[in-house]
Amino acid sequence: MSEPAQNPWRTALTAAAVLGFFAILGSALVGLAYQGTAERIAQSEREALLRQLTAILPKDQYDNPLLQDYLDVSAPNELGTEATRVYRARRQGRPVAVILSPVIARGYSGAIDLIVGIRAGGTLAGVRVLSHKETPGLGDRIDVEKSPWILGFTGKSLDNPPLDRWRVKRDGGEFDQFTGATITPRAVVAAVKKSLLWYRKQGLKLFDRPTPKVESRHE
């Protein structure tokens, strides 16, 4: 393989050419794969999102295209993040509910991304966990796949239970904690309560502003 005394320039240039050739080939492959999957990925993302929204608000309760009717809000103090999208469900033009995604709670081991649905009247349509890093077997019971705990929020509002009972039981509130994990449910309860307070402050005017034009791509 190694013949001595080859022109070093020649060696270097062929090596560079070979490497360059494969760089182009590799980029072409990645480009093709991207072209072939981009549409399907976008569709999967939409389907996944719609599944999450539907889990909170069944399809028969609204008649507008939910994914194309939203507002982007920034309320880091109340919703835990600077970028929350507010999907607005309407029926025959009248407000039905808003779904906030994400609302971020500070859990035991980092952010817990929640999706919170609030009916126009201020009661909870439902809460689900989008992603979390809580301890498996302890804090992860906030996940509906592991335990029905999070379903307990459905139908609650700031009057039911009264505001000062919006805590876990250990703190004198209404909501169960888990054996061995209080911090996680405490964080979730606090985040849901803050979203409700935020919604009360915003009120129905959330439904008035038009969806921003920029991001609404094809259909």
Partner 1 sequence: MSEISYRRIVTDGLWHNNQALVALLGLCPLMAVTNSLVNGLGLGLATTAVLLMSNLSVSTIRHWVRAEVRLPVFVLIIASFVTAVELVMHAWFHELYKILGIFIPLIVTNCTIIGRAEAFASRNPVAASGVDAVSIGLGFTAVLSLLGASRELIGQGTLFSGAHLLFGEVARAWELTLNADYPGVLLAILPPGAFMGLGTLIALKNLIDRYFDRRRAELAPAPATEPEQA
Pick from 67, 111, 138, 190: which binds partner 1 (CB under 8 A)?
138
Q: What part of residues 97-116 is at the interface with partner 1 (CB under 8 A)?
A: none
Q: C-beta of 30: minimal distance to partner 1 in Å?
A: 5
- Does 83 interact with partner 1 (rule: CB under 8 A)? no
Of 25 and 204, the one with the shorter C-beta distance to partner 1 is 25
- Does 41 interact with partner 1 (rule: CB under 8 A)? yes
81 by Cβ neighbours in 10 Å (0-12 / 13-18 / 19+) ranks as middle
Q: C-beta of 100: minimal distance to partner 1 in Å?
A: 20
Rounded distance between C-alpha atoms, residue 74 and residue 104, angstroms: 12
Of 26 and 121, the one with the shorter C-beta distance to partner 1 is 26
Rounded distance between C-alpha atoms, residue 167 and residue 164, angstroms: 7
124 by Cβ neighbours in 10 Å (0-12 / 13-18 / 19+) ranks as buried
Task: Decide if 138 contacts 178 (C-beta within 8 A).
Answer: yes
Token pair 């498996």 is found at 136
- Does 160 interact with partner 1 (rule: CB under 8 A)? no
Q: Which stretch binds partner 1 (CB under 8 A): 35-43, 95-103, 119-127, 154-162?
A: 35-43
Q: What part of residues 117-136 is at the interface with partner 1 (CB under 8 A)?
A: 131, 135-136
Phi-psi region of 193 (alpha: psi -120 to 50; beta: other; left: phi over 0): alpha
Q: Which stretch binds partner 1 (CB under 8 A): 10-18, 57-65, 101-109, 163-171?
A: 10-18
Phi-psi region of 91 (alpha: psi -120 to 50; beta: other; left: phi over 0): beta
At 110, phi and psi to the nearest 5?
Answer: 110, -165
Rounded distance between C-alpha atoms, residue 168 and residue 185, angstroms: 7
Of 26 and 203, the one with the shorter C-beta distance to partner 1 is 26
Of 11 and 154, the one with the shorter C-beta distance to partner 1 is 11
Which residues contribute to the site for partner 1 (CB under 8 A)?
Answer: 1-2, 11, 14-16, 18-19, 22-23, 25-27, 29-30, 33-34, 36-37, 40-41, 44-45, 47-48, 131, 135-138
